[in-house]
Structures are given as C-alpha cells and as structure tokens.
Structure 1
Amino acid sequence: MKRVYMDNSATTPVKQEVLDTMLPYFTEHYGNASSIHSFGQEAKKTLEASRKIIADTLNTSSDTIYFTGGGSEADNWALKGVMKANAQKGKHLITSTIEHHGILHTCKALEKEGYEVTYLEVDSDGLIDLKELEQAIRPDTVMISIMYINNEIGTMQPIKEIGQIARKHKVIFHTDAVQAYGNVGIDVEALQVDLLSISAHKIYGPKGIGALYIRKGIRIQNLIEGGAQERRRRAGTENIPGIVGFAKAAELAHDNLEAHVAKLIEMRDRLAKGILEAIDYSKYNGHPTQRHPGNVNICFEFIEGEALLLSLNAKGISGSSGSACTSGSLDPSHVLMAIGLPHEIAHGSLRLSVGDFNTIEEVDYVIESLVEIVHKLRMMSPLYDKVKGGK
C-alpha cells in the first residue's frame, strides 16, 4: 500500500545526515560533558560547538542558548521562570487564546499560584490585534508570550511589531517559535524578542531535545534544579547525541532555507487549491498568505474529523485533526473555536503539513483520495443529504 506522510507539523523524520552525525556520540564519543578527563572534555567541546551553531542561526551569542528536553520544557521554563523571578514588579502575563498547550496549561498552572493572565482574542484568520495587545499592558505586566506560528492553522503573528511594543513598555517578550524555526529566518535582535523556544524534531532532528534563547540580562528562575549544567541554569547531564543532531539539523535548515520554503509553498498551495476546488462546503483555515509554508488546515462540513483521518489512514495517508498533543481529546480544537468556527464545523477539521520528503505526486494522490473519502462520508450524513436535497 502507498504510504504518504503529511503530518510534518507533528514531527519530522530524522535526516540521514543528522543521524550520521549523531551515531558516533552513542558509541565512541560518549563522555559526560561535566567530567574533567579527556572523554568529558571532548564532549564539552562538542557541546559548545553545537551551541554556537544554533546561536548563529538566531543571530545571537552562544551564552544565550540553553538546551532543554524539548519545546514544552522551554515554554514552561520561560513563563514560570520569568514570572516568578520578576514577581516584585507584578503578576500579570499576556498571551493569546490560540497558543500551544505548552503555554496555555502553564498559564493555568500560574493562575493557580495567584498570577493573572490576559488571553487576547484573535480574528477569523488567527491574528491578534496589536492595539488590543498594547491596551492590555498594565503597570504590573511582567511578560507577553505570543507564538510565532500557530501549530494548527499555520497563522504567523507579527512578531517584530509585538517585540517593539514590548520593548517600548519595558515588558519581557517570549515567543514559542517551535513551528517557525527552520521555516522562516529568525533574527532575535531584529525581532526584539527576549526569550524564544525551539525544538529539534520539527526540523528533521531527534526528539527529546530543544532550546530556550534567553537574552542577556533577563531575570529568570531555574525550572530544574540539580547539577551545574547549562551554566547552572538547567540541571541534568547534557544529551550530547541529541544536541549534536539538533545542531546538524539547524545547520541544514539554515543553509537550505530558501529552497526549503519555496518547495513547501509550491506543494502547500497546490494541495489547498486542489482540495478547495474539488470539494464543496470546505473552508481553508488560517491566514491565506501570512502562514507556515507547509501548513494546510481545512474544515469539511457534514463529516467528523476522526472518520476522515481513519479513512485517510486506510489509504496510507497520515494527517491530523489538529495538535498531536491533544489527539486523545474529543473536544473540537480550541484554535478553531477561537477563530469563530461552530462546533459542528470545527469537528470536521483536517491538518495536512507537507515537508522536505513529500512530492507533487503525493500531493495529487492526497487530493484524489480526499475527494473520494469526503464524498463517501457525506453520503452517510443525513445533514448533507438534507442540504443537497434543498438545492
């Protein structure tokens, strides 16, 4: 059976060059970077070389990059660490209603500890209103956290403008850039961000490794206590194979960014156009142009997303109905609800995300398969039958 993977926003395969770079650090160069003997010092040298590679992709210095266990840890550390370290100024945080649950659940945890969170609404394309953001800032506002690119609908926020507003009001600005890193050029100085979360497994690197950029001078408490790793800010023996793989993936993404983005946009636009033209009662979600280069999120009326995914899987096609982190939930996507879609339409959502290993032939196969599947599922829907009968 033909197999097509179009869930690259959930995770990506590890590229061969990345794996080849990692392998020696499991069996040959296996030292602990905190050890003083030669094995340890070799690991330490590799650790710092990898840190510099990632720092260079963000136009920053190595001493602002801290390795974490992934994007969610980086998000947790950014919010909890900054809010608690700056509680003398206030306990107010601003975010949006469409953030990843790594942010939203952290905000809920902070609220239980007495912190106050303002959740900015978004428009039908998933964009926040910059005027509303500025109006939400108070004397006790410590932090703003707005994601760079939404993981479900792909909408890209005006991060540079948000950074300017935050700097103007002397408010710390964090962005979850997990979906953006490797898909847009990121310059933390030009964007005026103070903290930024990234993860390796979204850019053809290994799972279980991420990083948090922390601008010099930002007050932040530790999230994980223990040893003196990561300049005493993040305890735990460094995952050298993962870090090496992360650095190689970051280097490849940075060096091939233009070609990567062009390829994804071509496939994304062909996929979206083909689906929308062939299937009626379908809606393209997210900003039409200001979006992730590989994200296609569409809602199909009169069908359930779960049935759609199972039918696609039967044809060897892997997609999702939203974030992989909420796949066990029966509730409609909080992102789709936030952009104003009713329950019955939000339940019929499909996210397809193309990547470097996809082809135009696969795009056409997915379009052809979707037309067949949606037609078959709608034939079993009394609501669709009623609508068609009324025409």
Structure 2
Amino acid sequence: MIYLDTAATSPMRKEAITAYVDAATKAFGNTQSLHDAGSTAADYLASCKQMWGEFLNGRADGVFFTANASEGNQLTIRSLLRGRPPEYQDIVTTKLEHASVLTTLNELEKEGYHIHYIPVDHYGVIDMHAFEQAVSHRTALVIMQLVNSEMGAIQPVAECAAYSKKYGVPIQCDIVQGFGKLPVDVRSLNVTSAVCSAHKIGGPKGVGIVFIDPSVHWESVYEGTTHQNGFRAGTVDVPAIVAATIAAKYALAEQEDSFLKAKQIQDFLLTHLPERVQLVGNTKTKSPFIQGLILPHVEGQWLMLECNRKQIAISTGTACKIGYGEAISAMSAMGYDTDMARRFVRISLNYQTTVEDIQAFLQVVQSSLIDNKTKATP
C-alpha cells in the first residue's frame, strides 16, 4: 500500500520495535517499586526524560508521559488552569485546534470559562491584531497549535508567546504535527507547555509526551496521584516510552533531509495538480508534510474510498474527527463553505514518501476528473 496518511499515524520504525522488546525484557518493573526491578525501570524512565528534555531544549524535570497526545493536551490545559487564580476565566485560542483541545474547551465553557476564538485568514493563520486585543492580565491561558493537522498552517507561536508573557499568561502549544518534522524548541517558541505524540514519528501508539516549564505553577487534576509528580495517574509504560524516545532520536537525526524531501514533493504536487483541484494554505509558509486539497467534483470520502481501492491511503481530515464533521470546523474558520469542506481530502507525507507515490495518487484524481460518472455538472 502507498501510505499518504502520516498525519493520522505512522508505521513504527524497526529501531523503535527493537528498543521496545529490549526494554520490555529488561525494564518490566514498576517505577514506583523499591526493589531492583523497580529501580531499573525508574532508571530507564529517568534516561528517557533526560533525552526528551534535550530533544525539546527544556529541563528534564518538566517532561511527563501520557497515554497519548489527546490526553496530554487535556491534562496540560486543566493542570495549568488549576494553577491560575480562580477569578481568571478567559481562554484565548483558535477554531483550528485539535479535537482533543476543542472538546476540552467545550467542557470548560460549560464550567464557566469564556473562550475567545481568534479569527484566521484564508490560509489558516491567526489575526495577530485580534489576538493582541483578546489577551490581557486576566487571561487564564492561551492555547495555540503549532501546525494545523488538516492543511499544515503554521501559527506564529513564538510571537503569540512573547505577547502573552508580557501579561504573565501561560501558553500551551500542541506540537504534534511539528515535532520531528520542523525545528521545535520550547525555549525558542517561548511556550509554557508543549505536547507531542510518539506514533506520529514512528514510535508506538499509547505514548504522549508533555513538557511543562518547571518554573510555572500547575496543580494535579487527580488528587492523591503519586506517579509522575502527580501529573498523571497510573503505572508508567516504560518499554513504550523507551521506544518513543528511540523513534524521536531517529526522526530528529533525519529531520533536515526529511523536510527538504517533503518540500520537493510539495513542489512536484503543485506542478502536477489538476487545474480544478485547489490546494489549501500558503505553500511558502505551511508545513510541506500536510497537503489539504479541495476537489471540484466529488466528496472527499468518495475519493478516499477510490484511492483505497487502488491501495493508496489518504484521509478526509484529522482522524480524531472522523464521523464528527471531519475537516469542516477548520475549513469553516478559514472561510470555506460546507460544500467545499465536504470535497476536502488530505494527504500527509513521511520520510519514506516518494514522487512515485504522489504520481500514483494524482493518477486516481485525474481519472476521477475525466470519468463521466463522477465529473461535475457544468
């Protein structure tokens, strides 16, 4: 199969699989146990925290592990809010956030928080003037995704963080679609917290990585929790964390070459894209690993199924939203109507994607355009 859905998940690297097996054999103990098996597991965990601190250019004691990035987003948001003065009830964000964030925001709104959604332009980039108007000393939290998962728009996170911190406001950043693909440095971004995912970079599913600046006050969502300094309850999955760490090491080593290759593939796609197919976003500034396309003639789901019949995997938007409007909320925020959103498909690349893979995808698109049974009525 030609796999063009890396933004949803990626196949595990063989090095990560090997690391998992090795750690499962040697570090099977509970990190909270006081015997040697527990101490061994705790040593493995400490080493992984140290490495992730280096990967993100942050302190190791600010690194935590969750069951996935969705849980990481939700725990981080609520932990930071619990550490803020209770009278601060304003949250500043966008409609382009991941489903895990939007769900949490809906819950928080019911709990009394005021959510300010900053408008974005036709390319999916926020209006900085509107952002600055929304942030004040009484803002509880800013939530800003680095790379949008539908069309790859990159937000000016560092600029938003610098402005937010003038008012002492923490900023949480979902870096899931950026880490391992673009340069991501929590100090350069100046963010309070960041969340990424192992299975987007060739690691195992079931591991989210969270960084929270140790100098910032937060409070545990779960009272009485002892694991990971109270951030998350439950026995830590050391073998999976080791595998995630090894996957990250390889992804970062290949990052520069992978980015250049993705740019070349994006240029090829632009050059050979059928005239009536529209690419969403600004290719000069967006992530080249994510390509959102609007079809002129059929719904995205139809093309997805047609590609699947040809053994090509694509998607109609973020996997976490499938069945719940898919890309419609993000597209609506960017000014596209519902009909156009339903004709949206996404292809997403990894370090193994080739030009030949894109050619095979474009052949399916071209065939669908000239097929009288699917061609749009003039």
Distance 1:188 1:89, change over 3 A: farther
Shift of 1:103: 1.0
> Which of 351, 358, 368 matches 1:356?
351
Match of 2:353, SS state, is coil
Shift of 1:299: 0.1
Q: Aligned equivalents of 1:102 and 1:331: distance in 2?
A: 13
Decide whether the 8 Å contact of 1:6 with 1:317 is kept in 2: yes
Amino acid of the structure 2 residue aligned with 1:132: A
Q: Which residue does the alignment assign to 1:189?
A: 187
Distance 1:212 1:182, change over 3 A: same
Q: Tell me, which stretches of 5 or more residues in structure 2 are unaligned?
A: none
The 10-residue stretch of structure 1 (18-27 or 62-71) with the greater mean CA deviation from structure 2: 18-27
User: What is residue 31 of structure 2 aligned with on the other side?
Assistant: 33
Whether 1:326 aligns to 2:324 is no
1:201 is paired with a residue whose SS is helix
- In the superposition, the TM-score normalised over structure 1's length comes to 0.93
Matched residues in 2 for 1:208 and 1:224: separation?
A: 20
- Asked if the contact 1:81–1:223 (Cα under 8 Å) also holds between the matched residues in 2, the reply is yes
Shift of 1:89: 4.5
Query: Which of these residues, 69, 79, 87, is aligned with residue 67 of structure 2?
Result: 69
Residue 205 (structure 1) aligns with: 203
Equivalent residue for 2:164, pick from 163, 166, 169: 166
State whether structure 2 residue 306 is matched by structure 1 residue 311.
Answer: yes
- Residue 273 of structure 1 and its aligned partner are, at CA, apart by 2.7
| 1:330 Cα deviation after fit | 5.2
RMSD of the TM alignment (CA)? 1.5
Q: Look up the equivalent residue of 1:344 and give its one-letter code.
A: D
- Amino acid in structure 2 at the alignment position of 1:354: L
* Matches of 1:19 and 1:265, distance apart in 2: 29
CA contact (8 A) 1:35 1:41 kept: yes
Identity of aligned residues (%): 28
Of stretches 23-32 and 288-297 in structure 1, the one that deviates more from structure 2 is 23-32
Calculate the TM-score normalised by the size of structure 2: 0.96
Matches within 5 A, 1:1-391: 3-225=1-223, 227-275=225-273, 279-329=274-324, 333-376=328-371, 379-381=373-375, 384-385=376-377, 387=378
SS at match of 2:336: coil
Write out per-residue CA displacement over residues 226-255 of structure 1, whole angstroms, 9 at most, x where no aligned residue. 541112322211111110011111111222
Q: Which amino acid letter does the alignment assign opposite residue 263 of structure 2?
A: I
| 8 Å Cα contact 2:27/2:44 also seen in 1 | no
Deviations 1:180-237 (A, max 9, x none): 1111111211211001111101111011101111112222222345541112322211
Deviation, structure 1 residue 339: 0.8
Q: Residue deviations 1:275-311, cap 9 Å, x none?
A: 2xxx232211122221123111110122111111111
Are 2:136 and 2:167, in contact at CA under 8 Å, matched by a contact in 1? no
Which deviates more from structure 2 when the two are superposed, residues 151-160 or residues 257-266?
257-266
Q: Once the two structures are superposed, what CA deviation does each residue of 1:130-159 show, in whole Å capped at 9, x if it has no partner?
A: 111010113321111010000001000111
Offset at residue 29 of structure 1 (A): 2.8
Would you say the 8 A contact 2:318–2:326 is kept in 1? Answer: no
Structure 2: distance between partners of 1:301 and 1:146: 31
| Number of equivalent positions | 378
> Do the aligned residues in 2 keep the contact of 1:68 with 1:209 (CA within 8 Å)?
yes
State how far apart, in whole Å, the 2-side matches of 1:316 and 1:82 are: 44
Secondary structure of 1:351's aligned partner: strand
Q: Whole-Å Cα distance in 2 between the matches of residues 226 and 304 of structure 1?
A: 49
State whether residues 268 and 354 of structure 1, in contact with CA within 8 Å, keep that contact through their aligned partners in structure 2. no
- CA deviation after TM superposition for structure 1 residue 173, in Å: 0.8
Using the TM superposition, give the Cα deviation of residue 120 of structure 1 relative to its aligned residue in structure 2, in angstroms. Answer: 0.7
Unaligned residue ranges in structure 1 (runs of 5+): none
